[in-house]
């Protein structure tokens, strides 16, 4: 019985460096190329958004955490379009899709609650010109959180915004201004 070992003469992929141009005959036919380092991939392949990566090259763009086994998100389309436009003006085009770990994605791209200033994941209440966690959109007088459930209809003036504080119309009717 033969013992088989696979060894590669290619160096490990390098992070943070620009891909080196390679001679066409240096890449074996049918080899997938890593979208990050441009080296052939042998063994495990990570596939995301139509791109292929070495597992060690598939990293959060912000913090560098390996993403192959954690929740990750691609850069939002609007932000990517803005970035590509900016980079084209500066003649520094990096058109690859950027990926972010769960924490960095929400910290960088999720709307922030007007009340607690933290990123909102999941359901968002949009009212009074701001975005809120569902439980943070409530009447300042009685504490009723039903203001945030189902949103406010434009014709339903059950809540008023006064000095960035929300009130039911009946809760603030006794308050002298």
- Parse the chain into domains and list their residue ranges: 24-108, 110-177
The encoded tokens of residue 56 equal 């060690």
CATH number listed for the domain at residues 24-108: 2.10.110.10
At residue 91 the predicted structure's pLDDT band, cuts being 50, 70 and 90, is: confident
The answer to whether the 24-108 and 110-177 domains have the same CATH topology is yes
Residue 63 pLDDT exceeds 80: yes
Report the share of the chain in percent with pLDDT over 90. Answer: 38
Q: What b-and-e string marks burial along 32-62, b requiring 16 or more CB atoms within 10 Å of the CB?
A: ebbbbbbbbbeeeebebeebbbbbbbbbbbe
The helices-and-strands tally (H runs, E runs) of the chain is 2, 10
pLDDT at 106: 95
The CA distance from 164 to 146, in Å, is: 18
Handedness of CA 32, 35, 36, 39 (dihedral sign): positive
Mean pLDDT of 74-78: 93
Q: Domain 110-177 has what CATH class? A: mainly beta
Cα–Cα nearest to 71, from 19, 118, 115, 121: 121
pLDDT at 128: 78
Entry pTM: 0.62
pLDDT at 9: 35
More reliable by pLDDT, 36 or 2:
36
| 104 φ/ψ angles, rounded to the nearest 5 degrees | -65, -35
pLDDT at 71: 94
Mean pLDDT of 26-55: 85
- How many other CB atoms sit within 10 Å of the CB of residue 101? 21
């Amino acid at each position: 019985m033969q013992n088989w070992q696979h060894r590669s003469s290619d160096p490990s992929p390098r992070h943070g460096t620009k891909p080196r141009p390679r001679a066409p005959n240096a890449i074996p036919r049918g080899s997938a190329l890593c979208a990050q380092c441009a080296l052939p991939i042998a063994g495990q392949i990570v596939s995301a958004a139509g791109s292929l990566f070495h597992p060690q090259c598939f990293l959060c763009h912000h913090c560098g955490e390996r993403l192959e086994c954690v929740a990750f998100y691609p850069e939002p389309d609007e932000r990517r379009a803005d970035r590509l436009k900016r980079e084209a003006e500066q003649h520094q085009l990096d058109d690859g899709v950027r990926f972010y770990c769960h924490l960095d994605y929400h910290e960088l791209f999720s709307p922030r609650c007007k009340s607690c200033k933290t990123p909102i994941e999941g359901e968002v209440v949009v009212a009074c010109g701001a975005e809120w966690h569902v439980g943070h959109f409530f009447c300042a007088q009685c504490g009723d959180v039903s203001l945030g459930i189902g949103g406010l209809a434009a014709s339903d003036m059950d809540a008023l915004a006064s000095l960035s504080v929300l009130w039911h119309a009946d809760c603030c009717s006794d308050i002298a201004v």
